[in-house]
Structure 1
Amino acid sequence: MRRWLSLFVMLGSWTWFCSAIFHIRDFPLTEKLDYFSAGLNVLYIFFLGTVRVLRLGTWRQSKALMVVCAIAYGLHVGYLSLVRFNYSYNMAANAAVGLLSNIVWFVATFQAYRNGQPFWWKPAVLILLTDMAFGLEAFDFPPLFDTFDAHSLWHAATIPIVSCWYSYLIDDAKWDLRLEQLR
């Protein structure tokens, strides 16, 4: 699981970097990097949750899931790049994958509860907080005080949420290591 968690950190950093570059310089390339890295991050959170729930800890065990996710991502990026850059479709696709991710992480929450993990409730709370933050992105509104629009508040809300996800994933990995050592 360590490899997948390390990749999660790298992808998260890449997503933040692409987003920052796009918000500094709005060009077609930087916009695509922002949207595509965000979509990859959403898909990877689904992948990571599925790996966690199904206990696909090795490359060999997770290969089929990785191939399916890579094909889906490639088709998504290909459509947006070669056919039509459709903002509504992109938002709907990311929301659908996010919903699947929510389901997977709720299953992980149940598994953690059943296994007696003392912090079993954290993924469920983080899912709900993420969904509330996503509401800022999905239900746009005019800027508050002519400064804070929904999108900027979405970015601000994700900072503590992502930090809490990292904290949970580290605690979860330590818990798994402890259980393995007891076996």
Structure 2
Amino acid sequence: MTKSKFSDLLLLQIGNEFAASQQYIAVAVWFANQDLPQLAKYFYRQSVEERNHAMMMVQYMVDRGVSVPIPGVPAVRNDFTAVTDPLALALKQEKEVTRSIESLFRAARAEDDALGEQFMLWFLKEQVEEVASMTTLLNIAERAENSFDIENFVARETIGNGGRDAGAPEAAGGSL
């Protein structure tokens, strides 16, 4: 794999995935500080899932013989005023990631990079699940009469696949 628009965008996306992982830790900690352990647990898992996505992309680039400089991440948002605030932030973030993944897929297709296009297909499918999960959580939070109704929902229901997918690409160093 040579340097291309696709490889440049993939390097940027690695940074985006690590940033999402950090943001989800901040969200989880906020929920933990609000005594909402189910939401905290959910977002701690989401953080690991985003880290694994970054490491899948790292492994792909290593496998393709491309140097992978690991970027730093920007500061995350730590302060929220209502339970819906971090959920709305998470949904916005997942929609942005979806646009980035779509751009990566289009770049691979434009460059006639069948391997890159095939690699991005899994991430496109994953983003459908991510946006749907965050939409559901935000909808439930907006309709809930109190925070504990949301906690009960998260404890009772399976939201997303928890990052478990046998067809997922291999993560560098193994998935956590």
TM-score with structure 1 setting the length: 0.47
Higher relative contact order (CA 8 A, sep 6+): 2
**Where is the helix percentage greater, Structure 1 or Structure 2?**
1
